[in-house]
Amino acid sequence: MILFLAYSAVLLSFFSGLLGLMMHRRQPLLAFNQYWLAKFPTVNQRCQSAMADCLEEKRFPILLRRAVFFLLGLSGIFAILAGLSVLIGQGVITDQISLGLPWLPWHVRFDCLSGFFFLIIGIAVSAVSLYGPGYVNSYKESQHPFAVLALFTGLFVAGMLLVLLADDAFFFMIAWELMSVASYFLVSFQHENPANRRAAFLYLLMAEVGALAIILGFGVLASFSDGFTFDALRNAQLSTTWASIAFVLALLGFGMKAGIVPVHVWLPEAHPVAPSHISALMSGVMLKVALYGLIRFCFDLLGDVHWQWGVVLLILGTVSALGGILYAMMQPNLKSLLAYSSVENIGIIFMVLGLSMIFMDNGHPQLAALGLLAALLHAFNHALFKNLLFLGAGIIHHQTHQLNIDMMGGLIKKMPKTSVLFLIGCMSISSLPLFNGFVSEWLAFQTALQVDVLDNGVLRSLIPVSAAALALTAALAAACFVKVFGMIFLGQSRSHHCDKAHEIQDKGMLAGLSLLAVLCFLFGIFPGLIISLINNVAGQLLGETLPNDAALGWLWLAPVSANQASYAPPLVLIGALIAAGASFWFLRRNPATVMRRAETWDCGFGGLTPKMQYSCSAFTMPFRRIFNKVWIIDERVEKDMRGAMDQDVAAIRYHLEVHDHSWPHIYQPIENGVNTLAKVVGRIQTGNIRTYLGYSFATLILMLWVIS
């Protein structure tokens, strides 16, 4: 039954893609309808007229779009149901599909870990399918055919779900690559922009490299076992060296997809250029699938984790978290910023996962479970709020036709509903209390604080440092999202487009956002709901669950023990409401103090203009000063002079570009290297036939000499 739900989810998303292909098939459908009408004139007239109605030229595309997203949404709901039921039932369901290699059918396994990620995908996909129909309306059919979008969206979602179901290396890779390739087409959807093409190429290239690393990782395992099924791989007996090699390969492969520094460069390029609901899925969900892969590979297939791996994850995670948020801060493009922020969040997840490994190998499975729980919870939360923010960015883009934060402003009055929802996303991602982001970060801190139980001096000093970095990351994230919300929604609008923007009319789009926002808040207040589910994952994967996670009642969160730490968000909420209500009531009771609107104070110069406001780059200038080694900063001020002796300034232009270090230091050399190599190798092909004959001759002589 549960498996049926899971399969339905996959198939529905697949069919939604296929249905999308019908976009250009109105004529055949019409003809079919005519034929059908002629053949069975007696069968339900109403049905036929309804058919004909649907096929009417104007209505057909709209209806089809709705139908496609309806199927997608249904797939999301089925995924949620499947995930929930397996998490609650705590079962492990296996199955085989007779596709694939003759001696290796596709093995399917649906357990709590898969179920949890099913849940994430399901929620995200449901929200996206509410949002989608309104969003894709703005695409012109001739330039951006809906069929392409729908097909690859369906395949993308199906691919992600299949990755979670896969129980053998071959099937896993097929699903994995299906996901990559489908999303590649989505990234390149608006391919008339060079940026999209470049991003898509980079993305596919890195996906390919990553996939090769993963295959190799499986290959290492497979060469120590007798098959490619995960069952066989689990039983592989590896030496520590080989296990570490496998781990490094998996880390490279999955890390590339997840976007950890320094293999993250595709992410901030690819996510922003895809349609927003796809960016949401990519950033919010696909990265989680990579995470799933890593967890599956390390905790499930390799089994015996080593603390050294944990240290590697911890360090990489710390670097990614800090790097991600610092780069995010400098981005003027909203979606790039969100993409970099995904790097940050993935970094946090990796950090905690690393802690979990360290505790696991040091004989503290309970703490390992805590770490895993924190990581999974953060993954879940990140999926919620990152989706929310990307969808919000989509609405903003839809209404203002731009993504440059420096060109926005004042949208809070023009788009009140969107602004509230977006604010909730910003607060969640800044990990403010009462919202879900805070809970997982709190758990992450709690995990790090358990360092006392370890014996190893290196770890004992390393973990606090990373905890400090985590604290810094959280603070920087808050700063970053203050900037985002402040620049976009507050103040005065900085551009013409923004001035004319208005609230989105499509209810579905807002409903998609609202769903996510409500969940962000709900799981911020009642994290116990989701934590008890994740506990089952930890139980199945590590064989350990958290102790008395509900000893103080279900309102409380006490992951280790009530004496060590506890958090009761509902009580905090009540307290906050009381405090705010009391002060509000106390101050507003006097009717004489009704407020009055007046001009904003302009220092007496007269006439505030939007240009006087702090801009995005101005806001982040102190950070640029403080962390200036982190970026490659290209900052120029150009002055046009005029007047006598060119003494007066006519105009000033300020130019700022901030770049990622990894590009010129890692990728550029590789690219140049390949080109140079090609040039050198190209010399063998001189174009002269006598040279070619010489090669043939020399090869023959050489070979004869070799064998004799």
Partner 1 sequence: MNIEQLDFYTQAILSMAALVGLTSFLMLGQGRLLRLIFVFAMQGFLLTLTTVLAAYSLNNPHLYISAVLTLALKVIFIPWMLRRQVVQMNMHRDIEALKNNTAVMLGGASLMVFSYYVLHPIVQSSSVVMLNALAVSLSVMLLGMLLMISHRQAIAHVVGFMSIENGLFFAAIVSTNGMPLVVELGVAFDVLVAAVLFGIFFFHIRTSIDSLDVDLLNKLHEVDK
Partner 2 sequence: MNWLIAVLQSMLFVALAPLLAGWLKCCKCYLQNRKAPSVIQPYRDLLKLSHKQPVVAEQASWIFLIAPYIIFSATVLAATVVPFIAVNLPTSASADVIVMVGFFAFARFFLALAGLDIGTAFGGMGSSREMTISSLAEPAMLMAVFTLTMTASTTNLSLAIAHVLNEGLVLRPSFVFALAALTLVAIAETGRIPVDNPATHLELTMIHEAMILEYSGRHLALIEWASQLKLMLYGVLIANIFLPWGIAETFSVQALGYGLLAIMGKLAVLAIFLAIAETLVAKMRLFRVQEYLSFAYLLGLLGMLSHIILEASR
Partner 3 sequence: MIAAYLVLLIPLIGIIFFALAGHREDTGKLNVRFNGICLLATIWLALNVLNQGTIISSGKAFLIDPFNVYLIVLTAFVGFTTSIFSAPYMAHEKEIGKLTDGRLKLYHSMFQGFMLAMYLVLTTNNMGIMWVAMEGATLATVLLVSLYRTPESIEAAWKYFILCGVGIAQALFGTILLYYAAVQIGDGENALLWSVLYENAGKLNPEILEIGFVFMLIGYGTKIGLVPLHNWLPDAHSEGPTPMSAVLSGLLLNDALYAVVRNKMLVDGATHSTMAGYLMMGFGMLSFLVAAVLLHRQKDIKRLFSYSSIEHMGLMTFAFGIGGPLATFAALLHMTVHSLTKSAIFVTVGHAAQLAGTQKMEQIRGLIRTQPKIGWGLLIGTISIAGFPPFGVFTSEFLVLLATMHSYPWLTLPLLLGIGIAFAGLFRHVQPMVYGDQPKGQKPIAANLWPVMIHLALVLWLGLAIPGFLAHWFSQATLLISGSTPL
Judged on CB neighbours under 10 Å (0-12, 13-18, 19+), 258 is: buried
Q: Which two tokens stand for residue 679?
A: 């040039």
Rounded-to-integer distance, Cα 155 and Cα 162, Å = 10
Total Cβ atoms within 10 A of residue 55? 18
Among 60, 170, 442, 521, binds partner 2 (CB under 8 A): 442
Residue number, 654 or 692, with CB nearest to partner 1: 692
CB of 661 to partner 3, least distance (A): 22
642 binds partner 2, rule: CB under 8 A: no
Among 181, 377, 463, 477, binds partner 3 (CB under 8 A): 181
Backbone CA torsion sign across 67, 271, 624, 461: positive
Q: Is cis: bond before 262, omega within 30 of 0?
A: yes
Residue number, 204 or 469, with CB nearest to partner 2: 469
How far is C-alpha 405 from the chain's CA centre?
20
Among 139, 201, 627, 663, binds partner 3 (CB under 8 A): 201
User: By CB under 8 A, which span of 198-206, 343-351, 492-500, 686-694 interacts with partner 1?
Assistant: 686-694
User: By CB under 8 A, which span of 205-213, 244-252, 561-569, 678-686 interacts with partner 1?
Assistant: 678-686
Q: Would you give the DSSP letter of residue 667? A: I
CB of 393 to partner 3, least distance (A): 24
Residue number, 178 or 632, with CB nearest to partner 3: 178
CB of 641 to partner 2, least distance (A): 25
Partners of 648 in the beta sheet? Answer: 642
99 binds partner 3, rule: CB under 8 A: yes
| Residues numbered 203-222 forming contacts with partner 3, rule: CB under 8 A | 204-205, 208-209, 212-213, 215-216, 218-220, 222
Residue number, 578 or 700, with CB nearest to partner 3: 700
| 8 A C-beta contact, residue 178 and residue 172 | no
412 binds partner 2, rule: CB under 8 A: yes
CB of 669 to partner 1, least distance (A): 21
Total Cβ atoms within 10 A of residue 69? 27
User: By CB under 8 A, which span of 32-40, 87-95, 145-153, 682-690 interacts with partner 1?
Assistant: 682-690
| 8 A C-beta contact, residue 476 and residue 470 | no
User: By CB under 8 A, which span of 202-210, 299-307, 321-329, 491-499 interacts with partner 3?
Assistant: 202-210
Judged on CB neighbours under 10 Å (0-12, 13-18, 19+), 584 is: exposed
Give 53's Cβ-side CA count (13 Å radius).
6
Q: Which of partner 3, partner 1, partner 2, none lies near 597, with the C-beta cut-off 5 to 8 A by kind? A: partner 2
699 binds partner 1, rule: CB under 8 A: no
Rounded-to-integer distance, Cα 659 and Cα 630, Å = 9
Q: Which residues contact 32 (CB under 8 A, 6 or more apart)?
A: none
Burial readout 693-708 (b: 16 or more C-beta within 10 A, e: otherwise): eeeeeeeeeeeeeeee
How many residues of this chain bind partner 2 (CB under 8 A)? 88
C-alpha dihedral, 490 to 496 to 500 to 502, nearest 10°? -40
CB of 236 to partner 3, least distance (A): 13
Q: Which amino acid is at 385?
A: F
290 binds partner 3, rule: CB under 8 A: no
CB of 582 to partner 2, least distance (A): 9
Per the document, the length of the chain is: 708
Residue number, 92 or 472, with CB nearest to partner 2: 472
Q: Which two tokens stand for residue 212?
A: 């090769």
Among 41, 102, 643, 682, binds partner 1 (CB under 8 A): 682
Among 413, 675, 694, 702, binds partner 1 (CB under 8 A): 694
Judged on CB neighbours under 10 Å (0-12, 13-18, 19+), 405 is: buried
464 binds partner 2, rule: CB under 8 A: yes
170 binds partner 3, rule: CB under 8 A: yes
693 binds partner 1, rule: CB under 8 A: yes
| 8 A C-beta contact, residue 488 and residue 334 | yes
Q: Which of partner 1, partner 2, partner 3, none lies near 701, with the C-beta cut-off 5 to 8 A by kind? A: partner 1
Total Cβ atoms within 10 A of residue 364? 18
Rounded-to-integer distance, Cα 426 and Cα 464, Å = 27
C-alpha dihedral, 674 to 679 to 680 to 686, nearest 10°? 150
Q: Which of partner 2, partner 3, partner 1, none lies near 188, with the C-beta cut-off 5 to 8 A by kind? A: partner 3
627 binds partner 3, rule: CB under 8 A: no
Q: Which residues bind partner 1 (CB under 8 A)?
A: 679, 681-690, 693-694, 696-697, 700-701, 704-705, 708
Chain residues binding partner 3 by CB under 8 A are: 98-103, 143, 145, 170, 173-174, 177-178, 180-181, 188, 191-192, 196-197, 200-201, 204-205, 208-209, 212-213, 215-216, 218-220, 222-223, 228, 674-675, 677-679, 681-682, 684-685, 689, 692-693, 695-696, 699-700, 703-704, 707-708
